[in-house]
Amino acid sequence: KQEVTQIPAALSVPEGENLVLNCSFTDSAIYNLQWFRQDPGKGLTSLLLIQSSQREQTSGRLNASLDKSSGRSTLYIAASQPGDSATYLCAVRRGGNEKLTFGTGTRLTIIP
């Protein structure tokens, strides 16, 4: 059974700093991994999707990496802004016809 862990559960950093969010998964045989953000009381917004054959994906100030052998993915946010404050979730798909398994998320607060 795939288990996905995100540590820490909460993180506060001053505006302008670069930061890294972590995602660990127990079964390295994954199909793809996706990062989302969720604002309070809202739905999820897709940030980046990494296929199992890829090592990283970039979108603007965001960079996600994937290391299947160690069961880890990181989301790097450059030059953080108050608008980046949200809960960040990673989700892993083990096989092409299998469900997404979500981590519990990291609540990020950017301090102006």
Partner 1 sequence: KAGVTQTPRYLIKTRGQQVTLSCSPISGHRSVSWYQQTPGQGLQFLFEYFSETQRNKGNFPGRFSGRQFSNSRSEMNVSTLELGDSALYLCASSYQGTDTQYFGPGTRLTVL
Position among 12, 26, 46, 81 found at the interface with partner 1 (CB under 8 A): 46
Dihedral sign of CA atoms 21, 24, 29, 32 in order: negative
The residue (of 13 and 49) whose beta carbon lies closer to partner 1 is 49
DSSP for 94-108, written as a single string: -STTS-EEE---EEE
x-or-dash string of contact with partner 1, 2-41, rule CB under 8 A: -----------------------------xx-x-x----x
Least Cβ distance, residue 67 to partner 1 (angstroms):
21
Q: Compute, in degrees rounded to 10, the torsion defined by CA atoms 45, 47, 50, 56.
A: -170
Give counts: helices (H), strands (E), the chain: 0, 11
Rule CB under 8 A: which residues touch partner 1? 31-32, 34, 36, 41-46, 49, 89, 91, 93, 96-105
